[in-house]
Amino acid sequence: MELLNTLVDKGLRREPPTREEALAVLATADDDLLDVVAAAGKVRRAWFGRRVKLNYLVNLKSGLCPEDCSYCSQRLGSQTGILKYTWLKPEEAAAAAGAGVAGGAKRVCLVASGRGPTDRDVERVSRTIQAIKEQHEDVEVCACLGLLSDGQATRLRDAGADAYNHNLNTSEATYGDITTTHTYADRVTTVRQAQAAGMSACSGLIAGMGETDEDLVDVVFSLRELDPDSVPVNFLIPIEGTPLAEKWHLTPQRCLRILAMVRFVCPDVEVRLAGGREIHLRSLQPLALHLANSIFLGDYLTTEGQAGKDDLAMIADAGFEVEGTDTTTLPAHRADALAAAGAGCGAHGEAAGGCGSAGGGCAPCGDAATSETSDRVPATPATVPAEAAPAAVPAAAPAAGARTDLVAVRRRGAGTDLPPNA
């Protein structure tokens, strides 16, 4: 296809496609899907080789959020049955992070539910960052605490945070349809605050919430303009008890097209395969590694992921290799720009550079709760084995309705007495 040849050439030059070209990628036929993956894979390998960066989530505070994000199991009034607990102590969070590092994670993402942190919360997270860095000097730490106030980004950077995640999630035009307690502009402001403080910005999207192709292209082009260093691509996890529990619009093929479109628009940026990959890509997960150069290892914030050992086996079987701490993730032009800005793991200074990532899987919100205690609500007893993986399902598009056979609430790891899935 001439379109794909054009997109590869542009990607190798760090030149963005047109909106029409991006939309055309999403509209390709199933018969052309492997050609699309192969073309975007050329761009991915040109900038990142066959390396896969592993990231590990630590949910510092679960539930208890005053925001109304429709996709989120931690939202105000949630009846999802997730674990709910207030702040982990620094040593508890460091121990949880250590499990991910032992599994090969290069970055630890510290996430807390809520609108945004209080100054005391920032101090609490700063102590947690320091505790992690004392034990794992080379690990990257990304904070995801929600909307930041003046000076908080600088305090986190000074405490040792390498990156900050805050996802745009969807297009500006449809943002009000999924969240009413804060605005799209609030999110953009927080990402820019992180960049101004010298941290690597991580910002991505959630696909599968009922958006159009135009919405997907809009948010990805907005990310490119914002220019974070890493872009997590989340696929909606329709959790029973949330307003979007019956939004099962994605197929494995559509997920691959979305990832390819993101790679073409953001050629030299860390594209992270984030939440929902197991339940929507299913047996096609290995193909996604040809498009994304980063994944989350093990479980997510409130739901279970694929077993960590299976993630590692998948990477090896697909002919990729886990990226070590001695390797710089981003291409030199981006890494050098970030280093000049005062951080250390990415870059956001190139006008032609592309967009970013983060938390692809990190939570959308921070923590507005005012509780000052570090005691936790007792964890709910485990209901699944520690190594349980998502149930196998046919490759056909899922039927409408909540799919409790695919989505399992996390009952292990951070906030429980059970070992993590790492």
C-alpha R_g of the chain: 19
| Residues composing the chain | 422
d(CA 348, CA 342): 11
HSE-up of 303 (CA within 13 Å, CB side)? 28
Q: Per residue in 345-370, is it b (16+ CB within 10 Å) or e — as a string?
A: bbbbeeeebbbbbbbbbbbbbbbbbe
Six-digit token pair at 201? 């910005």
Opening angle at CA 337, ends 334 and 339, nearest 5: 110
d(CA 114, CA 363): 9
CB contact at 8 A, 228 and 201:
yes
**Residue positions annotated with a catalytic role:** 65, 69, 72, 109, 142, 202, 272
Are 355 and 227 contacting, i.e. CB atoms less than 8 angstroms apart?
A: yes
59 Cβ contact list (under 8 Å, min separation 6):
83, 111, 112, 113, 301, 302, 363, 414, 415
Residue 224: in which H helix or E strand, if any?
helix 213-226
Calculate the alpha carbon distances from 274 to 44, 78, 281, 382 in Å: 17, 22, 11, 24
In angstroms, the CA 295 to CA 232 distance is 9
Measuring CA to CA, how many Å separate 348 from each of 97, 183, 330? 27, 23, 11
Euclidean distance between CA atoms 304 and 183, whole angstroms? 29
Token pair, residue 203, equals: 């910002």
Name the residue type at position 274.
A
End-to-end, the C-alpha distance of the chain in Å comes to 41
d(CA 124, CA 247): 36
Phi-psi region of 308 (alpha: psi -120 to 50; beta: other; left: phi over 0): alpha
Residue where the block lists tokens 């379109």: 3
Q: Quick check: 264 and 25 in contact, CB under 8 A?
A: yes
